[in-house]
Structure 1
Amino acid sequence: MRFHNLRVVVTGASRPFGRSLAVGFAHLGAEVFVSARTKAAADVVGGQIEGAAASRIHTFGCDLSRPAEIARFARQVGELTDRVDLLVNNGARWLGGVELESASDEQIVETIGATAGGTVLMVKHFLPLLRASTRPDIVNMVSVAGADTADGSPVHEAFHAAKSAQAGFADVLARRLRPAGVRVMALYPPDFSTSDPHAAEWDGTAAGPRDRLTAQALFDCITFAVDQPRDCFIRSFHFEPR
């Protein structure tokens, strides 16, 4: 029970890596508050938690493109706990396509709003609960699409814009919250395997340099950083593409 009594909030829990985070932290002893775009989608994830860890999962509906739902989510979590130790901003609105004209105006606005705006508002509304913790951490799942070295992956320009905004926000937030003891880190993975703790791939098998980055490796990076002494501020993890 490595993270017994750790209070963790995870957005985008219905996505494969969000599910991995929820399952992984619950089985390490944390109490996990997960959100998906709908309550029904979050409940599916909660139903996949096995054994005693199932009682440590709380599910919520929260569309990150809607500010009122983010504020409501934070209020609902605050009714169940007096603090949050770790906020993982995993939720994002994916948008594919390599031509700007391939997406509608509504899709572009929603992608940037849910991904960048949603991350900013999640931090804003959960910051009081994070400040109440003795070990507050914020993790932002950015992706290589938000890095200066972004490759030519087939994602829409609006998704690149949203991830770049997310990266810039994480950078300034890390500097401004450090004096208060709130650590902020960002992960910049390329496309990776989306197996979760229920899959055979999640078994600690040693991977080679030519193997695809796995969800387990990303999860281990997060738990490693969160587990460091409080004077250790890890700003970011950048990963080489396969």
Structure 2
Amino acid sequence: MTFENLRVVVTGASREFGRSLAVGFAHLGAEVFVSARTVEAAERTRTGVLGAARDRIHAFGCDLSRPAEIREFARQVGEHSERVDLLVNNGARWLDGVELDDASDDQIVETIESTAGGTVLMVKHFLPLLRKSHRPDIVNMVAVRGGAGAARTSAHDAFYAAKNAQAGFADILSHRLRPSGVRVFSLYPPDFSTADPRSVEWAGLGAHPDDKLTGQALFDCIVYAVEQPRDCFIRSFHFEPH
């Protein structure tokens, strides 16, 4: 399988793993449509790419807590491409705080809206373009959901609430879209390295078993799942915490 001419949408692509996804897919030959909270932030991802891959990245502004901006993002991508082959729901609003009072009401609502509501609306408005692909896939970067590993992070309770909502949506979506050929799978990694794709760490060189999971490993999991025959439905990837 080749990624050339594959149309990929990546949210939250201005930094860290979202940027790594955009760069990785562009270097594999895909046409990548990236979004960030502002178009300027998304554009920085595009301009930071070297070589011909830069021309395969298209930058858009989209605040995932604002439904109108999600609708506009889908409309703009539809003007550039008649289909989308892969939607990666990577964007999420991080919120710090170990006590409920550590965040304001507005911050809590915005975190849940952008992470959970944003994922639902991204799927809703990009589904028409996905259905025009002969190989449509949806990837959800759920990451943390709470539980035993929650105590080791500084994420606010609202962030875990949003991630659990996102996971529940992914589960039912996988079941309901499967008959139509749209595959849905999710990644549940612990805290992982967000090294730049051009770094030695991204390449996986010199990794030690006790080191953090790398962005390269997560990217490889996504590529592996997408490359599988269409009758292979991988619901999720779960990783052991360090």
The TM-score with structure 2 as length reference comes to: 0.97
One-letter amino acid of the structure 1 residue matched with residue 23 of structure 2: V
CA drift at 1:197 = 1.3
Distance 1:203 1:63 in 2: 31
RMSD after superposition: 1.2
Counterpart position of 1:175: 175
One-letter amino acid of the structure 2 residue matched with residue 162 of structure 1: A
Distance 1:200 1:84 in 2: 31
One-letter amino acid of the structure 2 residue matched with residue 211 of structure 1: D
Q: Deviations over 1:118-160 (max 9, x none)?
A: 000000000000000000000000012x265553122101000
Equivalent pairs, count: 241
- Tell me, yes or no, if structure 1 residue 202 matches structure 2 residue 197: no
Taking the TM superposition and a 5 Å limit, the aligned residue runs for 1:137-152 are 137-144=137-144, 146=145, 150-152=149-151
Taking the TM superposition and a 5 Å limit, the aligned residue runs for 1:144-163 are 144=144, 146=145, 150-152=149-151, 153-163=153-163
One-letter amino acid of the structure 2 residue matched with residue 151 of structure 1: A
Q: Is the 8 A contact 1:112 1:158 kept in 2?
A: yes
Distance 2:175 2:2 in 1: 28
One-letter amino acid of the structure 1 residue matched with residue 156 of structure 2: H
One-letter amino acid of the structure 2 residue matched with residue 161 of structure 1: A
CA drift at 1:4 = 0.5
Q: Is the 8 A contact 2:201 2:207 kept in 1?
A: no
Distance 1:193 1:215 in 2: 6
- Tell me, yes or no, if structure 1 residue 113 matches structure 2 residue 107: no
Distance 1:172 1:130 in 2: 18
One-letter amino acid of the structure 2 residue matched with residue 53 of structure 1: A
- Tell me, yes or no, if structure 1 residue 57 matches structure 2 residue 52: no
Distance 1:202 1:142 in 2: 21
CA drift at 1:5 = 0.6
One-letter amino acid of the structure 1 residue matched with residue 213 of structure 2: L
- Tell me, yes or no, if structure 1 residue 82 matches structure 2 residue 76: no
> SS in structure 1 opposite 2:69?
helix
Counterpart position of 2:44: 44
One-letter amino acid of the structure 2 residue matched with residue 143 of structure 1: A
Q: Which runs of 4+ in 1 moved over 4 A?
A: 147-150
CA drift at 1:209 = 2.2
Taking the TM superposition and a 5 Å limit, the aligned residue runs for 1:129-144 are 129-144=129-144
> SS in structure 1 opposite 2:65?
coil
5+ residue gaps, structure 1, are none
Percentage of pairs with the same residue: 73
Counterpart position of 1:102: 102
CA drift at 1:29 = 0.2
5+ residue gaps, structure 2, are none
Farther-moved stretch of structure 1 (207-216 vs 7-16): 207-216
Distance 2:103 2:203 in 1: 39
